[in-house]
Amino acid sequence: MTYTIFEDGHIASPTGFRATGVSCGLKDGSKARDLALVYSVQPAKVAAMFTTSLTKAAPVFLSQAILSRNRDAMRAVLINSGHANAGTGQPGLTDAVECAKLVADELEIQRDAVLLMSTGVIGVPLPMPKLRDGIRRAVSELDSGGGKRAAVAILTTDSRPKERALRVQLRDGQRCILAGMAKGTRLIHPRLATLLCIITTDVAIEQRLLQQALHHSVQRSFNRLNLDGDSSPNDSVLILANGGAENTPITDAGSREFVAFQESLNALCADLSQQIVRDAAGNGRIMNVRVRGAVSEDSARLVADAVIRSRTLRAAVKRGIPDWGSLLAAVGSSCAEMRPELLDLRVGNVLVLHEGMVAPYDSYTVVQAFSVPEVEFTIDLNAGPVDLTVITCTWHEE
């Protein structure tokens, strides 16, 4: 393993990063921290992935425009909670531009070196007087120990902060730090949502490889969460790499250093995504849906999504009822390419269907498999090489 956990690490732990979180009254009736700022002392390479929603929020639209011009010298990310700045039209975009300009002017950096993230209520204009004051105070309070404050400031419906930092061994004598913070639970109200994640690292790496690494990690972590079937107009994942570790720059995807960095980024994203689903589950149950032996990833995802959407199966999981028949029904309704006579189903470690026919099993073991906090379903199509796992959870209200 190329990494170890950085105990008490946070988003500002990598060399050359500063952060803070302040309260400026964005959450009605609350004095909680609601505005976070992450700053790199030196220009940072940046990679990003955004929501696929066609109704992108203003901060997403603006950040994408900035990244079309600047991916090699980013300096700051401003994250506000309480207001999503989505569904706000041109006025919302104007407000986003002003926020980025204020951060740049206060930090005395280029205006295309600031990215934005927002989360909270959709369709409500940003309270700009409060944000103007909050941005000034955030800039004045930036420090290398402020990551914990930032992680709290980005929360909305979350019950706790989600953060992790890793020390990464690139090769003998060359190390770096990876740190991330995230927020997200689910759409508990149709106007309140968002999965946000920001990652910082002091590794020196080419921007194209940073984007490649982020895409690989997100596809295998955040993009395999399907908590409630809804997609926010604000979903964003960013990574900033400022080279503060002074390692030999990573320029080869086949190098030992890149492999070590990719492994560590995979672990960090997986950890943060697991924290999200565990927070979302609350007193409900987590469902791990593994599809093996699919002919393609698209086919595997069709099966996994059908299983996750099954209200009958979700009700069985929530109540601990050993109804694996609803699992079979969901798989069959997926329209994925499969041969029923090759299908195997497992609940936990219990094989309940083999080659399309019921298998001999102890009914008590199936009851147990449906009653654990994390229920696992394995659907083996026995038709191809693809193996994919998607995670969801049941809700108290279901």
Which residues does the annotation mark as catalytic? Answer: 194
CA angle 353, 359, 360 (to 5 degrees): 150
Spatial distance between the Cα atoms of 238 and 220, rounded to a whole number of angstroms = 16
CA dist 397 to 120, 218, 289, 314, 394, Å?
21, 29, 21, 12, 9
Contact 369, 350 (CB under 8 A): yes
* DSSP-derived secondary structure letter, 283: T
Contacts of 113 (CB under 8 A, 6+ apart): 43, 70, 73, 74, 75, 76, 104
Residue 133 parent element (H or E): helix 128-140
Spatial distance between the Cα atoms of 234 and 314, rounded to a whole number of angstroms = 27
Sign of the four-CA dihedral 124, 56, 48, 42: negative
Hey, which bits of 32-141 come out as E strands? 35-50, 74-83, 114-121
The neighbouring-strand residues paired with 377 are 289, 347
CA dist 293 to 162, 345, 365, Å?
33, 12, 25
Retrieve residue 122's tokens.
């959709």
Residue 116: which of 91, 96, 136, 141 has the closest Cα?
96
Spatial distance between the Cα atoms of 298 and 115, rounded to a whole number of angstroms = 32
Contact 89, 95 (CB under 8 A): no
Checking phi first, is residue 289 left (phi over 0); if not, alpha (psi -120 to 50) or beta?
Answer: beta
The neighbouring-strand residues paired with 174 are 171
Spatial distance between the Cα atoms of 394 and 398, rounded to a whole number of angstroms = 7
Contact 197, 238 (CB under 8 A): yes
